[in-house]
Chain A
Amino acid sequence: MKVTFEINGTEKSVDVEPRTLVVDLIRTKLGMTGTHIGCDTSNCGACTVLLDGRPVKSCTLLAPMLDGKKVTTVEGLAAGGKLDAIQVGFHAEHGLQCGFCTPGMMLVGKALIEANPHPTEDEIRWGISGNICRCTGYMNIVKAIQHAAAANAAENTAGVA
């Protein structure tokens, strides 16, 4: 069946079997491999994408459910050659090691600070608790999100001034 949606700002129309999982659609059909698969049971969040701005697990979405919706993947974070604040934060604070959970973590972090620009550490830890990282122990992921929040705040202040 035909499914039409927007991904990272570009409209796509694809022909898929209804049983196609969104993560597979993105990886296989669209060839965007930044979205990963880490489990089969909706636990790990390696497949996280933003659906209409909210983080969801793309392994637990059927392709037809995308019809008419907007999807953002890790490939859509940097715009016009400029890194998103969340990407800068992950690099600056050593928020990644093997990199496998990183796309999902960055997308969750980005959505989190958009909804809550000044999160506490508890709010960050709660907010990323649907995503598993096996390498970092989360310490520096928390710092990375704080880093991005601070950068956004500084930019907004600068804009006001």
Chain B
Amino acid sequence: MAVDTTEAAAAAEAARQAMGGIGVSLARKEDARFIHGQGHYVDDVVLPGMLHMVIVRSPHAHARIKGIDSSAAMAIPGVVAVVTGELLAQHKLAWMPTLSGDTQAVLATDKVRFQGQEVACVIAETKYIAEDAAQLVSVDYEPLQAITTPQQAIAPGAIVIRDEKEGQTDNKIYHWEAGDKDATDAAFARAAKVVSLETFYPRCHPSPLETCGCVADLNPVTGNATIYMTSQAPHAHRTLFAIVAGLPEEKIRIISPDLGGGFGNKVPIYPGYVVATAASLLIGRPVKWIEDRTDNLISTGFARDYYMDGSVAIDENGKFIGLRVNLLSDNGAFFADAQPSKFKAGLFHIVTGSYDIPAAHIVANGAYTNKAPGGVAYRCSFRVTEASYFIERLVESAAVELGQDPVTTRLNNFIQPEAFPYKSASGFEYDSGNYPAAMKVALDMLGYDELRKEQAEKRAKGELMGIGVASFTEVVGAGKGKDYDIAGLRMFDSAELRVHPTGKAILKLGVMSQGQGHETTFAQIVAEELGIPASDVEVREGDTDNTPFGLGTYASRSTPVGGAATAVVARKLRDKGKIIAAHLFEADVADIEFAKGKYNVKGSPDNVKTIQDIAFAAYTNIPDGIEAGLEGVTYYDPPNMTFPFGTYLVVVDIDKGTGQVKVRRMVAVDDCGVRINPMIVEGQIHGGLTEGFGIAFMELITFDDEGNCIGSNFMDYLIPTAWETPRFELGQTVTPSPHHPIGAKGVGESATVGSPAAYVNAVIDALSHLGITNIDMPITSDKVWAALRSKGVTE
């Protein structure tokens, strides 16, 4: 008997693995091409007659253009064209709209407004020739004073950067508020204690290993425009191309092949895409433009650059009763943030985080500076990273001032599990959560109490060790469409599922993988819902001719929105299958049952028709009055966001002599609801923890007083290697999303959102007994050394 049970269980497990449904760590279907070196990225696209484009960029952060002489460049054999802003202006393409409703220069005409701005494009037979010629394009600049901080920008009398913009008389971009000022003022008035923090989340850059680029192939005869493009949102880009370039949308085909990472960097439309497209149209040959790393770092979507200060009001019981936050954002020379149009500071107002704070008031202001535009969310859902960082740092400060263990402060103030759905003071409805549970798992994994003892012993000996805590909550998976849109396009997403007569399926999506493993994960959703093995489900994305319209992949929205669409469309087909099954069984549809890919009539569980039988019948033996085929499409508009959360714990040791910080341990407990492919989920978390580590300790784009970019290549923009990167210990809790069809939440960004504060809190925890309360990221050894020195600590 016992043997039978074991065998049955083993057989069931084998069947589960073979099906590859939800919860199976299926090895990735997409791997084969990559491990053979057959990944197909934009730079791998070679078309007959293809030309190469190189961009001439401004060496100045701010200068008037007095003239451009391209004659020497044009004289080089093999140079086909030098495109300038003046030429584009004749086609009304010198400026383009941004994702935040501003305008951005495609190629500068009047002035350059940041170092690295696009000034001219050289198009030549080879990339070597294009680079040779680009050196010879002579631009006559009259340098102007550069503004390199938003504080300078909004100071009275500051030189106006966007003087070409009608009605723009200063450098202010927006003023935005959320929450309730009066209620917050009242909370602060009755507070027993107020704890404040002023911090800066510096500019960093997603820097996918593959830079941005395109191959634009416009055929003047047919009018067809095929653009191979590094795009996280090919459909949205097609529509925007139609609007910007005035091309007929039905003639535009955007193909985003394999992407070598994106992390938000491949959401905006950059000038290079526009010029390459225009050039292909004018010249009548395909034009390839591939950024080099410096192009990528100095001109494309950066992230963060937020100055934040705020306070938490605390009552006599140690409960948070109010939160105030002011932020000043540096948006660079053009307001090109990629974010939902109704929210000028993205979703920053999630800043109340995991805490039950009854009153909150957020004031945000944005400023133009002579720096690159962008403001993309580097592995983040529209500024949730900055918000999470701020609240988790502020809670750390509160714990220090209250003389509490930071875990205690958090447990005292968490939104309690029974409070969900929870309406936050800044207007979100959190769908679900169980913050104390995740905290407990993390503390147990780390052995928190023992480490606190070790810390006390070390401190007595003058050694520096710290334990950092962060309990983040994210908001991911935009829409719903009524509240969230980008450039007017509502943030739904789509799935089209076609089951072929032999029972094999193709799933086409509006989202776009950049390494997240969509070809596997989404096949697993179909396997779960329809009972077609994941190995029989082919997933297609990234070709606007062959996939349904969707808003793309960023802000952890693929699983919350595209994944939901997949489940829903599979259920539609399942229901149609019931009609066909009823026909085959000669039974009533209401009497048909479905489970794990098999249909039967109620009461006759052993007489089944498989989904494959049904698929064949859908093309060969369809009942009268029913359309043939087994396919469908769903455009899914989520009823709410999903709210992944977790607790991250970090242990650091600090070298007093050099200020070097060594991360000894990193425990990450994530709750992203139901995990479709646990292996892939963990891979996403590993990656995010590493980028968070990079941001906390080394990744930085900064500028000198003249506006020269420091961090313009990988010698200066530091990305952690395997050697520096901590070894991560992962744990989980599972709190399903109540509104998502399969209970899943986004996970791709949790770790980048949650981890920076954990790393920084660990460093501050090691130093707080000395009176050190804040060090802004990246926490470099010289900053730690200087902080120690300021307190008289030395080796």
Contact = CB atoms under 8 A, between A and B. Distances in A.
A129 B260 contact: no
Interface string B679-722: 11011011111110000000000000000000001110001011
A40 B292 contact: yes
B36 A134 contact: no
Nearest to A17: B128
Interface stretch (A61-69, A71-79, A152-160): A71-79
B722 A124 contact: yes
Given A38-B293, A99-B39, A100-B260, 17 more contacts: A17-B128, A31-B46, A32-B37, A34-B39, A36-B43, A36-B210, A91-B27, A91-B35, A94-B28, A99-B260, A133-B209, A134-B207, A134-B687, A135-B515, A136-B683, A137-B686, A138-B690
Contacts of A19: 128
A46 to B, nearest CB: 6
B17 interface: no
Interface of A: 17, 19, 27, 31-41, 43-44, 46, 73-75, 77-78, 83, 87, 90-92, 94, 96-103, 106, 121, 124-126, 128-142
Contacts of A78: 36
Interface string B278-319: 000000000000001110000000000000000000000000
A123 B33 CA distance: 28
A77 B36 CA distance: 8
A24 to B, nearest CB: 8
Nearest to B40: A33
A133 to B, nearest CB: 7
8 contacts: A36-B43, A38-B260, A87-B36, A97-B516, A97-B687, A131-B721, A132-B719, A139-B727
Interface of B: 27-28, 30-41, 43-44, 46, 128, 207-211, 258-261, 263, 292-294, 514-517, 679-680, 682-683, 685-691, 713-715, 719, 721-723, 725, 727-728
A137 to B, nearest CB: 3
Contacts of B514: 98
A101 B35 CA distance: 10
Contacts of A77: 35-37
A92 B32 CA distance: 11
A138 B260 contact: no
A20 B464 CA distance: 51
Given A35-B37, A74-B36, A136 B686 contact: yes
B240 to A, nearest CB: 24
B465 to A, nearest CB: 21
A106 B719 CA distance: 20
A58 to B, nearest CB: 13
B399 to A, nearest CB: 28
Contact of B209 (A38, A91, A106, A142): A38
B403 to A, nearest CB: 36
Contacts, number: 174
A137 B723 contact: no
A129 B209 contact: no
Contacts of B685: 137
Contact residues of A: prevailing secondary structure: loop
Contacts of B43: 27, 33, 36-37
A71 B34 CA distance: 20
A36 B721 contact: no
A37 B682 CA distance: 27
A35 B38 CA distance: 10
Contacts of B688: 137
Nearest to B712: A41
Contacts of B46: 31
B210 A98 contact: yes
Nearest to B721: A129
Contacts of A90: 31, 35
A129 B725 CA distance: 10
Nearest to B292: A40
A36 B619 CA distance: 45
Nearest to A38: B209
Given A91-B28, A94-B683, A129 B723 contact: yes
B37 A33 contact: yes
A65 B562 CA distance: 49
A98 B36 contact: no
A74 B683 contact: no
A43 B27 contact: no
A94 B516 CA distance: 11
Nearest to B45: A33
Nearest to B34: A99
In the complex, the 10 A-B pairs of residues with the closest C-beta atoms, listed nearest first: A34-B37, A98-B515, A100-B260, A99-B34, A137-B686, A74-B37, A97-B515, A137-B690, A43-B714, A33-B44
